[in-house]
Amino acid sequence: MSEPLRIVALISGNGSNLQAIIKAIQQEALPAKICAVISNNPHAPGLEHAHAAGIPTQVIDHKTFPDRLAFDTALQHAIDHFATQLVVLAGFMRILGPAFTAHYEGRMLNIHPSLLPAFTGLNTHQRALEAKIKEHGASVHFVTRELDGGPVIIQARVPILDNDTIQTLAQRVLNAEYCIYPLAIRWFAEGRLRLVQGKVMRDGLLLTAPVNYQHESSTS
């Protein structure tokens, strides 16, 4: 692309993945521009990260709307104001309705702290520990109307250690997230990543399984 990819990021909390994306852009590892950061939480710490980077912010508090559709409509209007090419969910803790997800089909990404389809929803690290599995991780996927059910693009796997707590496991997964989310966005920005008839295409080839980051060079 001759011009940077125009991104709007949606956050609800700390925005640590937002920071990783900002860092990748600043280091010229990601040909993108974050046009705005929008939060449904007026107290989200991630808004300060955006301010520090000179990125415009906006708060659309879901509590001020009568229903989900009204909130989604206001959010969509705000996003489209920036001629947005990609919507990036970076710790956005609201379920988005079917009309909203259909509007951004193939143009909205999310990162989820599990190896999808395992452990959709919340409390993924606790559930992974309780399941006594040996491996956990993170997934970047296209967003569809099904919660955490969109086609998965790339995953990073991390071991679960015998002495892990929720906190130690969460940090290990977060470190993996900071690698794979900017990478997936870069593929999209370079025109290498697309959703075609509900299937993930990368470099013109159908992905029959998510890219495994352990086997993927961070420069490819």
Measuring CA to CA, how many Å separate 164 from each of 104, 134, 205, 211, 214? 38, 11, 38, 26, 21
Q: CA-CA distance, 144 to 79, in Å (whole number)? A: 17
Task: Indicate which residue of 112, 125, 136, 141 is catalytic.
Answer: 112
112 is catalytic: yes
Sign of the C-alpha dihedral, residues 209, 123, 24, 87?
A: positive
Enumerate the active-site residues.
112
